[in-house]
């Protein structure tokens, strides 16, 4: 079936859509350095413009600094480069990749979780335009960053969605695409439109960090999409998914927010 595709994310309360997530299966490159000496030297040689520095003081002795991105014509974005992370005054991580844009406008993030006596998970929002955003998760142990991965951008604070005594964060990767009779879309009508399978993923907050709750993810997405098609974005489900599923996605997000 030939598709004319338009791209939108969800608008949770005001209209239909707002971008939130990142393209599926995209490789994220992270600046990593072999030793504390390497990080210290890079800190000392990375220049900042003082008036454009964002500084965040986080729990457990963590501090973030980043430089506001100024475009060619002098206009600032709401995003930052040259991301630096310190713990108790010592640099432990630097991401100086120009193409990676950090954001700090969402009050949900950053998130700092203690996962042991001296271990932590830190989550930061990264702008992945034009595909929305995702969360970079850094694993810290004994004042060193020992690993990283990416998570979907969460849509609400952690809540106990299924009343089992365990709180969960929820979010999704990518953006929602729509195709069909586009004239109905621009008229505010989702009839005769189709969309992708973009599951909401649920992560339990445990003493050792965030863990994907596979069972809860299956249950909730069966309710939303009528059938569980896996844990990943999929634009090729047959028969195609009616765009009206967005109403159930919005209802689920509103439920998560109402429990905060």
Statement to judge: residues 174 and 248 lie in one domain: yes
pLDDT at 218: 98
In this structure, what token pair is assigned to residue 202?
């649920």
- Rounded to an integer, what distance in angstroms lies between the CA atom of residue 103 and that of residue 106? 8
Instruction: Tell me: do 120 and 68 sit in the same domain.
Output: yes
Shared-domain flag, residues 36 and 139: yes
* Domain-terminating residue out of 154, 180, 199: 154
91 shares its domain with 171: no
Its domain, for residue 200, covers: 1-20+158-260
Of 201 and 192, which is predicted with more confidence? 201
Q: How far is CA 250 from CA 141, 164, 201, in A?
A: 37, 23, 14
- Pair 72, 121 in one domain: yes
Residues 131 and 52 in one domain: yes
Same domain, 172 and 118: no
| Pair 162, 149 in one domain | no
Rounded distance between C-alpha atoms, residue 64 and residue 161, angstroms: 31
Quickly state the pLDDT bin for 74 (edges 50, 70, 90). Answer: low
Tally of structural domains, the chain: 2
Do the bridges between strand 101-103 and strand 90-95 make them parallel or antiparallel, or are there none, so unpaired? unpaired
Q: What is the percentage of the chain residues whose pLDDT exceeds 70?
A: 74
Distance (Å) of CA 167 to CA 44, 117, 156, 259: 41, 21, 11, 11
**For the segment 163-195, what is each residue's pLDDT rounded down to a tens digit?**
999 999 999 997 888 887 765 555 566 677 899
- Same domain flag for 96 and 204: no
Is pLDDT at 42 greater than 60 in this prediction? no
CB proximity list for 107: less than 8 A, separation 6 or greater? none
Predicted pLDDT at 206: 97
pLDDT greater at residue 116 or residue 9: 116
pLDDT tens readout for residues 95-120: 998 889 999 999 999 999 999 999 99
Residues 101, 71 contacting (CB under 8 angstroms): no
94 and 109 in a single domain? The answer is yes
Domain boundary residue, one of 88, 122, 154? 154
**Last residue of a domain, which of 139, 154, 169?**
154
Residue 258 has pLDDT above 80, yes or no: yes
Peptide bond into 239 cis (omega under 30): yes
3-class state of residue 74 by DSSP: coil
State the pLDDT confidence band at 147, using cuts at 50, 70 and 90. very high
Sheet holding 176-180, edge to edge: 6-8, 176-180, 193-195, 241-242
What average pLDDT does this structure show over 79-97? 95
- Rounded distance, CA 260 to CA 256, Å? 7
**Do 146 and 165 belong together in one domain?**
no
Q: Both 74 and 34 in a single domain? A: yes
């Amino acid at each position: 079936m030939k598709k004319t595709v338009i791209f939108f994310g969800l608008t949770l309360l005001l209209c239909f859509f707002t971008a939130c997530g990142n393209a599926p299966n995209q490789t994220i490159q992270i600046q990593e350095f072999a030793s504390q000496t390497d990080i210290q030297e890079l800190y000392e040689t990375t220049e900042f413009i003082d008036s454009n520095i964002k500084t965040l003081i986080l729990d457990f002795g963590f501090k973030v600094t980043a430089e506001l991105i100024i475009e060619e014509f002098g206009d600032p974005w709401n995003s930052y480069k040259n991301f630096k992370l310190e713990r108790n005054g010592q640099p432990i991580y630097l991401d100086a990749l120009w193409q990676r844009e950090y954001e700090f406008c969402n009050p949900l993030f950053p998130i700092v979780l203690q996962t042991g006596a001296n271990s932590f998970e830190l989550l930061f929002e990264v702008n992945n335009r034009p595909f929305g955003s995702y969360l970079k998760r850094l694993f810290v142990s004994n004042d060193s960053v020992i690993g990283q991965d990416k998570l979907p951008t969460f849509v609400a604070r952690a809540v106990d969605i299924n009343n089992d005594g365990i709180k969960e964060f929820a979010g999704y990767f990518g953006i929602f695409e729509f195709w069909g009779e586009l004239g109905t879309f621009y008229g505010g009508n989702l009839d005769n439109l189709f969309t992708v399978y973009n599951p909401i993923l649920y992560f339990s907050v445990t003493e050792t960090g965030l863990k994907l709750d596979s069972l809860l993810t299956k249950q909730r997405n069966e309710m939303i999409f009528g059938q569980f098609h896996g844990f990943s974005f999929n634009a090729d489900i047959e028969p195609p998914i009616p765009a009206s599923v967005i109403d159930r996605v919005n209802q689920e997000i509103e439920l998560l927010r109402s429990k905060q």
